[in-house]
Amino acid sequence: MTIRVGINGLGRIGRSVLRAIFEVENYSEQIEVVAVNGSLSAEQHAHLIKYDSVHGKFNGDIDFNESENWLSINSRKFSLYRERSPENIPWNVDVVLECTGAFNKRAEAAKHNAERVIVSAPVSDADVTVVYGVNNDMLKKEHKVISAGSCTTNCLAPIVHILHSNLGIKSGFMTTIHAYTNDQNILDGNHRDLRRARACGLSMVPTTTGAAKTIGSVIPELKGKLDGTAIRVPVSNVSMVDFKFLADKRATTKEINEIFKNSANHVLSVCNEPLVSIDFVHNPYSAIVDLAGTYVTGEFYMPKYEELNETQQELYGKLQAAMEEHENIIDLLTGFSKEDLVKILTTVKCIELKDGEEHTLTPLAYAINLKNSLSSQRYITNILSVAKDKDILEKVLTTANIKIKLSNGQEYTLTPLVHAIILDKQRGIQAILNVAKRNSILEKVLTTANIKLRSSGNHEYTLTPLTYAINFTNQEASQKSIKAIIDVAQDNDMLKKVFASIKKDHLNKTKNILEILKNQEQDEEQKAKIDGWLKILAKSISSCESKDDPNKKMHDRVKEICEKQEQEDWKLTLERIVPNHKNKDIYYDVLKEILDSSSKDPQQIADRLTVLKKIISGCESQEQSLVDESSIPKTEGNITKDTVKTTNKPIIIGCVCGAIAALAVGLGLYFGAALPILTMIGIAMAAAVLTGLVAGDITYKMSKPSEDLNNVDLLSEQIYLSLGV
């Protein structure tokens, strides 16, 4: 049975299809070309069919008639139309091959007057997308508009189909290095895609492709598991697909190549020769697998510190191996859940070095450690771009699980930023900080105190990035790191937050180091920048001193008491506290501030202030009385701690004298006959003891207040403690 066919569009694809029908054996016997629709004259179409700059000269006979509007190939004549609208073309055919690239929606393609329309491009709402050799068994009689997908889809689909059937594909990423097309410009010109607007023969042009996503329409179980990108390069024909995937089953390079060899057919072929792209021009296969380009990246391993599920183990292992083999790791990380990515990107692997050192690194830390700075930068950027979710980034950048154990017993537990700073990886530092800033997590990255330092003496310290840098024993490294951290804070508000996250003594150390840097700096612009940092730092130090001020603490405590207590309660509380504080006016100032800012009754405000004045006034008069009448002992009333200590001095003197007297009497009795003078001294000292004890007892009784002294001391201590002074 012969199929009657019409071809709409005689551009690159339309002409190639027409030539193939007459070049490939038996095609012309099964397919009858009834008509073609183009925009050029019959002569122009005939010439372009016969002479092709890429595929060479057509071997058949070509003829045409301009007045009668027909073309003929190998004596088989067919009509030539020049219609712009599909519905105006009098096809009278079974199948229309839609090759213009202009009618890529089902409704538009369906306007052709034919039983079926096959579109040579992706159609999102087509009845079915078919890649021959992969899913042509899906074709049904009721399908009218059929999409053949793109050229890249027809290359990728057979490869994916074979791999998925034999190994199972969990996810994959494709990069097509694609020949330029007539959609691009020879010289810079107009185009909706600004990259394709540039001269196609002078640059590699990154662009988009839907080929990988279309695979989901061809192989439904892979829907959403594949993605890809394209790079247009300055070659006229033959494109390449670089496909990376994560498999359900493990296989060696040799086993994968054997799978392709055994699956080769009229759609997919294999090549084991060292050929280049031009060698495949005019090749009839949809895909040719370069067996020399098959790679399996490394062995999988179980992380030392965390357990991963099977999927995570495989991906993490592949990720590590990819970095070791300098592969494009971003392909391996797409399409995985947030939970998987967090687990993978914060999981560590222990690497033992010489001299007993151990480095326990995350993938990001491993990338930072690479000696090749360009590879390091690429991997850092790729990892951070994959972890684009804010929650994932926050965990990746603030989790301190990078461990460095030195031979002397010291251990460091670091965040990625501090790790990059220590290694002086400026590109890594900037990449981390830029992505942190874009995702509004810079403050957490710079101020979170989760960096741990365990000294050889087993002392552990928990630090922020800045305090860690301050504690460097190497002064030059310390200066460089502090400058790097402060420099990336960038704006004044962020710098204030960074300074606010560390203690006063560390702020003073930072000040000293910045002053040294300022004096060493030759560049005036840099000097001015450091001077600006010092001004902000001075305010932070001043703020710390204000927080440490006892009067400030007292102020806050009094404010709390006055705000919470009712009138009688606060009056009683102040009567007990005020006498024991040296700066009593602070109570009046605080209470006035509180009452003035409140909406209480003005009379109540006045009453409270009056009460407080009386309390303060009473305390002052009592203090004055103690000063003026200090020579007159009192038997009752208020007494200060200093007064009590003074009146107890005779008792202390008496006790000391008693001890000396006892020693003298003992020696006198023992050596009485030989040393009579010691006996006399002993008797004299004994008399002094008795005098001291009596005098001390009298003074104590005269000075003792009416309430129990121990209770006064205890109450005072409790009040001082509760006020934080």
SS3 content of the chain, % helix, strand, coil (to 5): 50, 15, 35
pLDDT one-digit tens code per residue, 688-709: 555 554 444 443 333 333 333 3
Name the range with the highest mean pLDDT among 225-229, 305-309, 619-623: 225-229
**3-121 CATH:** 3.40.50.720
Length of the chain: 725
Check residue 606 and give its pLDDT.
66
Check residue 181 and give its pLDDT.
87
pLDDT one-digit tens code per residue, 193-204: 899 999 988 999
**310-543 CATH:** 1.25.40
The number of CA neighbours under 13 Å toward the Cβ of 694 is 6
Catalytic entry in 99, 151, 155, 562? 151
Check residue 680 and give its pLDDT.
54
More confident residue, 675 or 464: 464
Q: Where are the domains of the chain?
A: 3-121, 167-293, 310-543, 550-632, 643-704
Q: How far is CA 361 from CA 126, 131, 347, 464, in A?
A: 49, 45, 8, 19
Q: Do 204 and 233 form a contact (C-beta atoms < 8 A)? A: yes
Check residue 725 and give its pLDDT.
28
Q: Is 301 a residue whose pLDDT tops 50?
A: no
Q: Is 217 a residue whose pLDDT tops 90?
A: no
Check residue 8 and give its pLDDT.
94
Confidence of residue 530 (pLDDT cuts 50, 70, 90): confident
pLDDT one-digit tens code per residue, 368-378: 776 666 667 76
Check residue 698 and give its pLDDT.
40
Q: Is 41 a residue whose pLDDT tops 80?
A: yes
More confident residue, 250 or 609: 250
Amino acid at 682: G
Q: What does the pLDDT average to over 300-308?
A: 32
Q: Is 594 a residue whose pLDDT tops 50?
A: yes
Catalytic-residue membership of 151 = yes
Q: What does the pLDDT average to over 606-622?
A: 62
pLDDT one-digit tens code per residue, 46-59: 999 999 998 899 98
pLDDT, averaged across the chain: 73
For the chain, the straight-line distance linking the first and the last C-alpha, in angstroms and rounded, comes to: 105
Check residue 525 and give its pLDDT.
81
Percent of all residues in the chain with a pLDDT value above 90, rounded to a whole number: 18
d(CA 86, CA 111) in angstroms, rounded, equals 6
Check residue 634 and give its pLDDT.
37
Check residue 702 and give its pLDDT.
38
Lowest mean pLDDT among 298-302, 544-548, 621-625: 298-302
205-207 and 226-233: which strand pairing? antiparallel
Q: What does the pLDDT average to over 634-663?
A: 46
Q: Report the top-level CATH class of 167-293.
A: alpha beta
pLDDT one-digit tens code per residue, 507-522: 787 888 888 888 888 7
Percent of all residues in the chain with a pLDDT value above 70, rounded to a whole number: 61
Token code pair at residue 53? 């700059």
d(CA 26, CA 197) in angstroms, rounded, equals 42
Q: Is 716 a residue whose pLDDT tops 60?
A: no
Q: Is 64 a residue whose pLDDT tops 80?
A: yes
